Amino acid sequence: MSTDGFIKVAAACPVVNVADIEFNVKNIKECINRALEQEAKLVVFPELSVTAYTCADLFTQKLLLDKSLEAIEDLCIYSRKKDLLIAVGAPLVHKNCLYNCAYIIFKGTILGIVPKSYIPNYTEFYEKRWFTDGINIISKRTDLYFQENIPFGTNLIFTSGIFKFGFEICEDLWTVIPPSSYLSLIGANIIGNLSASNEIVSKADYRKDLVKSQSARCISSYIYASSGVFESSTDLVFSGDLLIGENGVLLKHNDRFQRKNEIITSVIDVSRLNNQRLKNVSFRDSVKLLPFEALEINFKFSDTKITSFDRYVDKHPFVPSDEAQREVRCREIFNIQTAALAKRITHTNLRKAVIGISGGLDSTLALLVIVKTFDMLNIPRENIVTVTMPGFGTTDRTYNNAVSLCKHLGTEFREINIVDACLQHFKDINHPVEKHDVTYENVQARERTQILMDIANKEAGLLIGTGDLSELALGWCTYNGDHMSMYSVNCSIPKTLVRYLVRYVAQKEVEKDISDILMDVLDTPVSPELLPKDKEGNIAQKTEDIVGPYELHDFFLYHFVRQSETPEKILFLAKEAFKNDYDEDTIKKWLDIFIKRFFTQQFKRSAIPDGPKVGTVSLSPRGDWRMPSDASYKLWQ
């Protein structure tokens, strides 16, 4: 399995003794070895980890500074045959000024030295007593006794293929415009922060928020390593906080206050970050404001393959895995849907809504949205005209659920059997009734839509569409049939999430009688019921048997549209996410079908009605997805 575009990174917190350089380097080496064992290609150490951060006036001692440089030389020698980028903290004397720096080491060489831009000098911090800020140091060079002409500055980018590394130090992240913002704009997609952040109540939560938000703003990965408990001295306590974030998500963090060498690792998806930057116009526009250009330092990893791919891949990316968060998400989506529908109703000054009810998930959710909207607007529920239209494939189960739900909700309920009308239409177009092909199915779908549209005209009401995002992605709808309405409330909600929304309403919003009906709807197989039922009167036409499991298609949709991934990478991720559910051949089969249907059915999406966007993925032709109806899918298969 190819892991191109992925890289494993590490944040480390070694045990230190303040000013005991030999002891500190020994533990730094141990962390380097552990990072290599876990296939990391970058390891970030805390601020001033060679000497320890809390040396105070000892930083003015020549002996400490000389031994610190000897330690850096020792680490360079130690790293000669190690395929690992090392970011370690130590002081540097440059032109009679002392700088707090990150030394970037690779295979025996210092690739560059990055000074701390902002020196804190308030409350418990008084670093300016020793250190000079490096904010204006751009593209300079410096010499050490064992290596000359070393790049020195805050604009250094360390590049190996698509992996571009930038570094800042502690306080830099807490400023109005962190250096990492500029580093990201000049190319860095992986940011390392060498830190020494002490602990006070709630500060750890704020640090997590900073790492998540900065990685989101920069569309980057962010690796944060802070000094550990053995730095604690006098009034300050440190915890060894280690964090790895990616584009707003915290991928990994440690348990703080450990009393041993500690390292955390995570796999970073750099190709995804680069894809997101290409799509984000504001990110591209920000590049115009750069005050300087990058000094790019090229090096080359021998190998970035990952034999143990331990990155979590969510099989249901549209659905939060945490139950409490999922409930909050469902409530928010439900509120967005009702707010959108309320706006359309008040704008059109219509007092009625019309909806076709099948007893399936999508129409059930749409009806629940209408009911809540009408309650919010103080419009009687009797003004909701619910219509069930039994056909050739309607089963007793879905029919009874549709009837019971409408009556329990207090809507105006109508039943219109479409069998005779469809038979007449078959006769009109000379179609054999026993030929159960796409024409047979679409006649029923269009007959239902015609009835609903005409009722809406007759009642001066708004016909509400029920189709969901997954159906639009696959084109699993009849053009000018269930494809069409006057306003569509489910159009940006994927099928996997529709289930949880209905379940949320069943558990949190309605009384038990209605809840029982909703739970049975949830338990009913997904089907358009356009083919005759079986001999036992059960559903014979199951959608997922024809187009494939919706959980797979929603996964494909998320990674294809939201993340702009290639089919090869989607297949790789799907195999990881569903390794206990589907074999590779099954996943590939449905992925091929997804690609083909997604491309060939764009003409339906180009003509869909208005509907609210509720998440990061929407296929509206007026905003989120503009695609030619005649594009070839050959390249993607």
Condensed to tens digits (0 to 9), the pLDDT of residues 120-138 reads 998 888 899 999 999 999 9
Cα(481)–Cα(476) distance, integer angstroms? 11
pLDDT at 536 over 90: no
Are the beta carbons of 10 and 37 closer than 8 angstroms? no
pLDDT of residue 15: 97
Q: Is 360 annotated as a binding residue?
A: yes
Region of poorest pLDDT, from 125-139, 536-550, 622-636 = 536-550
| 253 & 364 share domain | no
Based on the domain organization, do 491 and 606 belong to the same domain? yes
For residue 391, which of 439, 430, 447 has the smallest C-alpha distance? Answer: 447
Residue 526 has pLDDT above 90, yes or no: no
Residue-wise burial string across 444-455, b where 16 or more C-beta atoms lie within 10 A, e elsewhere: bbbbbbebbeeb
Q: Which two tokens stand for residue 20?
A: 């005991």
Give the domain CATH number at 152: 3.60.110.10
Does 117 count as an annotated binding residue? no
Short-list 535, 565, 559, CA closest to 616: 559
Q: Quote the percentage of the chain above a pLDDT of 90.
A: 89
- The answer to whether the annotation marks 186 as part of a ligand binding site is no
Does residue 541 share a domain with residue 404? Answer: yes
pLDDT in tens, 16-45: 999 999 999 999 999 999 999 999 999 999
Do 253 and 368 sit in the same domain of this protein? no
Q: What is the pLDDT of the chain when averaged over all its residues? A: 94
* 470 within a domain of the structure (yes/no): yes
Report which of 510, 493, 452, 471 is spatially closest to residue 594, judged by C-alpha positions.
471
- Determine if residue 224 is labeled as part of a ligand binding site: no
For 1, residues 6+ apart whose C-beta sits below 8 A from its C-beta are 309, 572, 575
Confidence bin at 623 (pLDDT 50/70/90) = confident
| 3-class DSSP state of 100 | strand
* Residues 6 or more apart whose Cβ sits within 8 Å of residue 336: 612, 614
Q: Is 606 exposed, middle or buried (0-12, 13-18, 19+ CB in 10 A)?
A: middle
User: Who has greater pLDDT, 540 or 469?
Assistant: 469
Read off the pLDDT of residues 482-519 as tens digits, 9 standing for 90 and up. Answer: 999 999 999 999 999 999 999 999 999 899 999 999 99
Structural domain boundaries enclosing 73: 7-298
pLDDT tens per residue, range 221-248: 999 999 999 998 788 899 999 999 999 9
Whether residues 403 and 535 fall in one domain: yes
Cα separation values, 101 from 135, 152, 197, 257, 438, Å: 12, 10, 16, 25, 69
Q: Please check whether residues 36 and 133 belong to one and the same domain.
A: yes
Is 358 annotated in some ligand binding site? Answer: yes
Q: Which helix (H) or strand (E) covers residue 420, if one does? A: helix 419-428
- Residue 8: φ, ψ to 5°: -100, 135
User: What are the pLDDT digits (tens) for 549-576?
Assistant: 999 999 999 999 999 999 999 999 999 9
DSSP label at residue 450: H
How many domains would you assign to the chain? 2
Asked whether residue 310 is assigned to any structural domain, the reply reads no
Q: What does the pLDDT read at residue 525?
A: 80
- Tell me: is residue 477 an annotated ligand-binding position: yes
Residue 627: which CATH number?
3.40.50.620
Give 240-290 pLDDT, tens digit per residue. 999 999 999 999 999 999 999 999 999 999 999 999 999 998 998 888 888
The pLDDT score that the predictor gives to residue 235 is 85
Pairing of strands 242-246, 221-226: antiparallel
Note the pLDDT of residue 10: 98
Same domain, 228 and 338: no
- 149, 288 Cβ separation under 8 angstroms: no
> Binning pLDDT at 50, 70 and 90, where does residue 534 land?
confident
Same domain, 270 and 418: no
Rg of the chain, C-alpha, whole Å: 31
pLDDT digits (tens, 9 = 90+) for 385-408: 999 999 998 889 999 999 999 999
Residue 24, in any domain of the structure: yes
pTM of the predicted protein model: 0.91
Q: Are 368 and 505 in contact (CB under 8 A)?
A: yes
Q: Is 568 annotated as a binding residue?
A: no
- What pLDDT, on a 0 to 100 scale, did the predictor assign at position 423? 96
Phi (first) and psi of residue 85, to 5 degrees: -85, 125
Q: What is the pLDDT of residues 603-617, one digit of tens each?
A: 999 999 999 999 999
Q: 343 and 233: one domain?
A: no
Reply yes or no on whether the pLDDT at 530 is more than 80.
Answer: no
Answer yes or no: is 308 within a domain: no
Query: Six-digit token pair at 192?
Result: 């390392």
**Per residue in 303-352, pLDDT tens?**
998 998 989 999 999 999 899 999 999 999 999 999 999 999 999 999 99
Do 161 and 204 have their domain in common? yes
Contacts of 28 (CB under 8 A, 6+ apart): 12, 14, 45, 49, 50, 75, 88
Token code pair at residue 596 = 């083909």
Percentage with pLDDT > 70 across the chain? 98
Taking only the tens place, the pLDDT of each residue in 428-450 is: 999 999 999 999 999 999 999 99
Tokens describing residue 9: 């990174």
Q: How many helices (H) and strands (E) does the chain have?
A: 19, 20
The answer to the question of residue 312 being in a domain is: no
Per-residue confidence (pLDDT) for residue 288, from 0 to 100: 83
**Which helix (H) or strand (E) covers residue 399, if one does?**
helix 396-409
**Res. 540 pLDDT band, cuts 50 70 90:** low
Is 153 labelled a binding residue?
Answer: no
Is position 604 annotated in a ligand binding site?
Answer: yes
| 454-463 tens-digit pLDDT | 999 999 999 9
Residue 146: inside a domain = yes
The answer on 287 and 339 residing in a single domain is no
**Is residue 306 one of the residues assigned to a domain?**
no
List, by residue number, the catalytic residues: 47, 116, 170
The three-point CA angle 427-433-436 to 5° equals 135
pLDDT of residue 529: 66
What amino acid is encoded at 598 in this protein?
A: F
Predicted confidence at residue 125, as pLDDT, reads: 86
Instruction: Examine the domain organization and report whether 234 and 332 are in the same domain.
Output: no
Q: Is residue 317 part of a domain?
A: no
- Is residue 356 part of an annotated ligand binding site? yes
Q: How sure is the predictor about 378, in pLDDT bands with cuts at 50, 70 and 90? A: very high
Q: Residue 527: is its pLDDT beyond 90? A: no
Does the annotation place 461 within a ligand binding site?
Answer: no
